[in-house]
Amino acid sequence: MSLPRKKMTDNFPGCPVEAALGFLDGKWKGVILFHLMGGTRRFNEMRRLMPNVTPRMLTKQLRELEDSGLISRTVYPVVPPHVDYDLTELGKTLEPVVRALHSWGLDHVVCRDNRIETSVEPLEEHNF
Amino acid sequence: MSLPRKKMTDNFPGCPVEAALGFLDGKWKGVILFHLMGGTRRFNEMRRLMPNVTPRMLTKQLRELEDSGLISRTVYPVVPPHVDYDLTELGKTLEPVVRALHSWGLDHVVCRDNRIETSVEPLEEHNF
DNA sequence: CCGTATCCTAGACGATACTG
DNA sequence: CAGTATCGTCTAGGATACGG
């Protein structure tokens, strides 16, 4: 039986920090989680929040987060299609981590246009 | 505090979370920072702490962290060579982030022994 | 002790176009 | 609206060997 061929040498994290970062690996995962902390989001809503992410990459990162158990994908079989993305309970446990990252970024990095972005129009207020 | 940039050519992050993660990008940076939180470390000391990292990769990640302003490298011109790595003041500001990652890893991931599991929800396998 | 020097490959990431 | 399908580039990361 062929196991998914990836190098089996050190496939597994040797340290909790490495393990945790493994879940955030990927260019957009942290940002996706951050935006989902503001509540349910739909696909094109995310695209609007993250204008530089191509649909292909957004799909890929969302699927990986879903496979990791951090977010859920809910499909409503209607026309036009309606898909909701949410944090799972496990995903919500990452909030302190994402909050710490966000706080550090605010304190130590100047973002594009010198403008600080927060999640746009959150369904629930979250003050960081 | 000065405003560090990884590289001048880097795209500006569109979100503080993305910005912060940019500094931790790389397979071993988080773990390196974590170990340096325990105090000054020397090169081969780090190798012992991270047995799976090749010297090439360790050097590379250390240099990038240094370029980011998160760690300092102190060379003592003696024989045999003696080099100390430490967190800078900026690097120390990342401690809450690294601690959050570490804590999450401890709470939700079981490392070693060829298995990785979460304690919250059943997870499919991960390839790290 | 503390690294470099080469060489190599998988896959991450992006651009663009298309679809049920 | 919410994605796929292709194709292409680039580089992070590893294996191995050597050097001051």
Facing residue for A97 by CB, picked from B19, B100, B116: B100
Token pair listed for A118: 């927060």
Interface contacts A/B by beta carbons within 8 Å: 169
Q: pTM of the entire structure?
A: 0.83
* DSSP string across A24-69: H-STTHHHHHHHHTTS-EEHHHHHHHSTTS-HHHHHHHHHHHHHTT
Residue with more model confidence, A28 or B12: A28
Residue with more model confidence, B20 or A125: B20
Q: Is the CB of B80 under 7 A from strand C?
A: yes
Facing residue for A90 by CB, picked from B14, B114, B118: B118
CB atoms within 10 A of CB A39: 16
Nucleotides of chain D touched by protein CB (<7 A): 1-6, 12-17, 20
- A104 interaction partners in chain B (CB closer than 8 Å): 16, 20, 93-94, 96-97
Kindly indicate the confidence band of residue A12, based on its pLDDT and cuts at 50, 70 and 90: low
- The type of residue at B43 is F
Range in A99-108, B7-16, B117-126 with the lowest mean pLDDT = B117-126
Does residue A32 contact residue A61 with C-beta atoms inside 8 Å?
Answer: yes
Q: What is the mean pLDDT of residues A42-58?
A: 97
Q: Is the pLDDT at A5 greater than 90, yes or no?
A: no
Q: What is the mean pLDDT of residues A8-20?
A: 71
Closest C-alpha to B30, from B102, B113, B83, B84:
B102
B20-50: pLDDT as tens digits: 999 999 999 999 999 999 999 999 999 999 9
Nearest CA in chain A to B96: A100
Nucleotides of chain C touched by protein CB (<7 A): 1-6, 10-17, 20
**Backbone phi, psi, residue B51, to 5°:** -65, -20
The pLDDT > 70 percentage for chain B reads: 75
Handedness of CA A40, A43, A44, A48 (dihedral sign): positive
- The type of residue at A109 is V
- The mean pLDDT of chain B is 83
A78-93: pLDDT as tens digits: 999 999 999 999 999 9
